[in-house]
A and B are shown apart, each in its own frame.
Chain A
Amino acid sequence: MNFSIRKHPSDDQLTAGIQLDNSQRQLWESKLYLKYRSMISTASWKHNLTEDDASMAYSDAVMTTISNIISGRFEQRSSLKTYISRILEYKCIDRIRANSTAKSAPAYRDALEKYLEILPGHNRDIVQQLSEKYEVTTLKKYIQSMDEKCKRIIIAWGEGYHDQEIADHMGYLSAAVAKTSRLRCLGKLKTLYTSVTLKGAYNHG
């Protein structure tokens, strides 16, 4: 076998390749991952993370970068190297926090903050306080324990499928029917959550 020289693609080539809407995108995503893979050992050393944790944080940072390139949020004000390295910092810190506490990770809180900003100011705090009743980790566990149809429709919604796509794939008559079914499943999830946690609180009391 011949050992050949391989050059890393430039930032412009990578962003253009990742923005392609075809099968080539996957190839460019891998090229981006490979280009800065050496950040893993630096992150592991700097944050005292295991190589596995640092590697996962790096994959997470690359995935976030890819999604920001696609959505246009990466505006090329900095190089991809700087951009990924900043995101990797946050991902490493998230991982350290997640390893040290079972409570909601900062990522969940950030996501909630974005939604709360939509609410009128005086209702934000109330909804934030109320949301603490509904633990994300526990909700995930209960979603898995739901009946197959509800589980599938809720997960499809989480994956970003529109109601029309859900209707087409899961055999609902229309997008409206899929939406009603999905919201009914969310209602069931709330009942399940409330009954189990209330029962748990009663038993502990």
Chain B
Amino acid sequence: MDERIESYFDSKMDEQEKGRFEKDMEQSPELLDEIAFYLQARISVQDEARAATLQEKHREWTSIPAAEPGRPGLFAGIGMAAAILVILGLYFFNNNLRPGLPQQASVYLAQHYHTMPVQLGNGDDALQTAILQYNKSGYGAALQSADAYLKNHPNDPEGLKIRGFANLRLKHFDEAIADFKHVAMQKGLYQNPGKFYEAMGHLLRNQPGDERKARALLEEIIRENQTGKAKALEWLGKS
């Protein structure tokens, strides 16, 4: 194979060499045929390499779960499972009944959302303060800080979430449900558990119609494959 072909297409020739090569092209059909082969071979191997990379990337990307939360550590998992078994055991012992949805939600809240991740780079200290206060179980103070934050960022999902959970912990169920509904309405989030929080709020308030409303929300989460689907399936006895 004529080495000059590659130099020509990689622009590694000076003007003189290039001129000579182009002149040779005029006089040699064999050289033109060799160029045609070289180009097709080059395209073939580049395409083959790209196809292999694409397959690899496609496999990697399609294996990313659809907006699933991270798994808890092994010991945390064992601890949670044990605590839930104890609570459920006590419940069965006392009631001799299968726990209803509101009870399952109470158990769930007792085991989760004690701490919230601190948000980095937001630039507004009020949110960080609210999270830190919440994480130290200072729910009243967290509520005030979240309120202050939401005055400037009324639609911020993290602010609404913190205020919603602070309200939930303080048993201000109506306010918590309103905050969670607001989170659920947020667009542009690739993981939005707002509907799941809202269902939890209804189950914990446990007033007439709340369980029906929560069931409808959980069914919606399952149908639309939204965040919290696995838990919704479990609570509705469909897993």
Chain A residues at the B interface, C-beta cutoff of 8 Å: 1-8, 29-30, 33-35, 37, 55-56, 59-60, 62-63, 107-108, 111-112, 115-116, 118-120, 123, 126-128, 130-131, 133-136, 139-140, 143, 154-155, 157-160, 179-180, 183-184, 186-187, 189-190, 193
Contact = CB atoms under 8 A, between A and B. Distances in A.
Interface string B56-86: 0110111010110111100000000000000
Given A59-B54, A60-B54, A4 B191 contact: yes
A155 B35 contact: no
Interface of B: 1, 3, 6, 8-9, 11, 22, 25-26, 32-49, 53-54, 57-58, 60-62, 64, 66-67, 69-72, 112-113, 116-117, 157-158, 161, 183, 188-194, 196-197, 227-228, 231
B57 A59 contact: yes
A155 B45 contact: yes
A151 to B, nearest CB: 10
B60 A30 contact: yes
Given A7-B188, A7-B189, A118-B8, A123 B32 contact: yes
Contacts of B39: 112, 115-116, 127, 131
A5 B47 contact: no
Contacts of A158: 42, 44-49
Contacts of B38: 186
Contact of A5 (B6, B9, B48, B192): B192
A127 B22 CA distance: 13
A56 B194 CA distance: 31
B45 A157 contact: yes
Nearest to A107: B47
Contacts of A60: 54
Nearest to B5: A183
Contacts of A123: 22, 25-26, 32
Contact of B157 (A5, A108, A180): A5
- Among the interface residues B6, B66, B72, which one has the most CB atoms of the partner chain A within 10 A? B6
Given A130-B36, A131-B36, A139-B40, A120 B157 contact: no
Contacts of B117: 4
Contacts of A128: 36
10 closest residue pairs by CB, A with B: A158-B45, A130-B36, A3-B193, A134-B40, A6-B191, A59-B58, A158-B49, A131-B36, A139-B44, A183-B1
